[in-house]
Structure 1
Amino acid sequence: MRSVGVEEELLLVDPGTGEPLAVAGAVLAAADRAAGIPPQEPAEQATPAGGSGGPEGEGHALEAELQEEQLEFATKPVTEMGELREEILRWRAEAARHAGTAGALPAALATSPLPVRPTLSPGRRYEWAARQFGLTVQEQLTCGCHVHVSVDSDEEGVAVLDRIRPWLPVLTAMSANSPFWQGEDSRYASYRSRVWNRLPSAGATDVFGSADAYHEEVEAMVRSGVLRDRGMVYFDARLSASYPTVEVRAADVCLDASTPVLLAALVRGLVETASRSWHAGEPPPRIGTGLLRLAAWQAGRSGLDGPLLHPLTLERTPAEEAVGLLYRHVADALADSGDEDLVRAEITGLLERGNGARVQRALRQTEGSLAGVVRRCAEITTGGRG
């Protein structure tokens, strides 16, 4: 059974106004004190604007992110989805406990509904990124959900990357949870995905063909000087820089704690299905990267409330049909891992209630303000379904 880990990035907000608060340093200091970790100077963060790249922390699982208004945690690697859900709920609750000492709440929102001028977190890598990427980093306050799935080798991992490319936009649509940006409705379901793709290394990739070709491209990207190091390679799916995993980075952070579990089960199914295809000698789908970028844009625009592009034909198709295609594509792997019933039930629930974008827009109507949306979403983050 392949192990799975999830990283979630959370927004830190004021309990009254819903505005983002630049208090991550204080929250992490509180977590360190509770774990008996002595005060430390800001470290060389592993991947600015992208998380630690790994599934387990030391002492506690909470970490800094690019901006002081956000916080990240990473679960330990597990094989059972029930245990993964417990891990996610545990660290969301721990984030809330320590955020409370700084007068904040964590909210699983992929962008801030309210206007904000983000505050860069301390650290040499973040400072380098701010100098290099300018306004792109100054505005970059986005929260994603990254899923790690174990692989046996880089060769297997790259074979997986080559074969899961067409399915990643469906994950973006399912997870979409960022309809608002700077106080306005963006008209997108996942505006996070659009903001994130302003970074030069983000997005879909070509078919690599081999681990050597993957590593050669990554090294060439670093040698170009545009990126500082391998940690700044922000592909939608990549080999982890620190762990023997494939890391899928296409999803928004999700309101409902059950949705990242669903994503993790589907990603594990994708990895296993791709590996079996590779071992059987089947070639990866030869879909152009330009078309995949269109599919990613359409997923960010529509979420589950409009058409997506068919993962294999790239023709317009209803979102529910695209989700069904993904389910059927990984059905054998889900059955073998024991995840089939869970995934089927969670997909049904997600299609009925909608993703975070639909929930946020509905809350805007019932709460009457974006501040009310944020407060309610903070409750949902640690308290269950909305």
Structure 2
Amino acid sequence: MPLSTRNPAGGPRQLFTKTSADRVALARQQFFEEGVRPSGLIGEAVIQSWMRCTRTHGDRRRVVGFDAVTPSRLHATLGRNRELLEAARQELVGMESSLAGTDCRVLLTDAQGVIVHVTQHPLNAQQPILQKTARLGVNIAESVVGTTAPGIVATTGKACTVDGAEHYFEYLREMQCAAAPIRDVHGRLAGVLDLTVESRRFGFDAASMVALYATTIENRLLLAQSQDRLVLRFQASPTLLGTPLEALAGIAPDGTVAWLNAAGSRLIGGVPDAGPCDVEMLFGLDLAGLLRMGRGEAAQPVRLASGLGVWLQARLQARDGVDFGHAVSMAPAMQPIVPEVNAESAESESAQPPAAESRSLPEGDGTLRGHGRKLIEETLAAHGGNISHAARQLRVSRGTLYRHLKSWRINDAE
């Protein structure tokens, strides 16, 4: 539908209306009846959504049907999004607990707009539309139900709110919703977190709340998808580490920056578009230096390549998601560096390996596994083969270290 930016009558428009409802009503009149773009009355994201919906949906006054997918398709959808649901599980519980005294529903959709989690609210009898909408398997994508906050986010990948009559279909004009995106390690949309209330306003800053929880879920998902990766946590203030405001980066086995979360991208300026970016180009430290930094528990001050000073923690994620302190098992093929010891000798404070049995890493092994093996070898060598001291520095038990050394010896013999 072609839109004009001028008043058809040629006179000035009154843009300073009394209430937000008045502004939206004027925007609908301009857009749907006069063909005028209602810039300044509503957000650009809503205007763009209305324009898409006019091409997809004919009658904006019709009743919207919220048909759930078939049980088999729902089962497949939940299976495909198991990783997202697991990453969101803890935050959804906390979010729903915080909202227990409100009439708000928490919705989580997949990247296509299909609901994969929903709050079961005791007042749903007073929410006739939400009672139909807020069900597992219902598709609330823009192509199905028109303009909604989760629909816009699924289409654009950007957080937004949609209030009352900003919804394309008049049937949904009693709804208010705020939604934010959740992305994966590839930068693709993994899901949408949404807050929706019916027949009333939120009464709090729903956009900020949903953005905070979506960020936390996204960070958990990034970590879960970064097995066998070096994860960097950094921020200008150490007090922000471990919070939703912390910056995160995932380092690939070849020493390139595989991903940055939103906070990391803002803080560091993003990864250059022209090909892979070596970690040293952004962080001013090479991979070996960052792995050595991972031996310590506390964040350390680092000067980034840009000159910005930050506090940084480095953790080598293992397959079970734990940090380097429990990641000795990431080196299954390490050459034996101490002789095999039995349970009795495990209590010995020192196990000095014969020089002939101490071997170096395979030439050219530049993977994170290889660096981890080299780090273990260096730690043992620095402590003269003393298992207790090496285990203490690596933050693992002596028994754990002995078990893995024995398994490497067996693997090598095979």
Fold shared, TM-score > 0.5 on shorter chain: no
TM-score normalised over the length of structure 1: 0.25
Larger gyration radius, structure 1 or structure 2: 2
TM-score normalised over the length of structure 2: 0.24
Tell me which of the two structures has the higher relative contact order, counting C-alpha pairs closer than 8 angstroms and 6 or more residues apart: 1
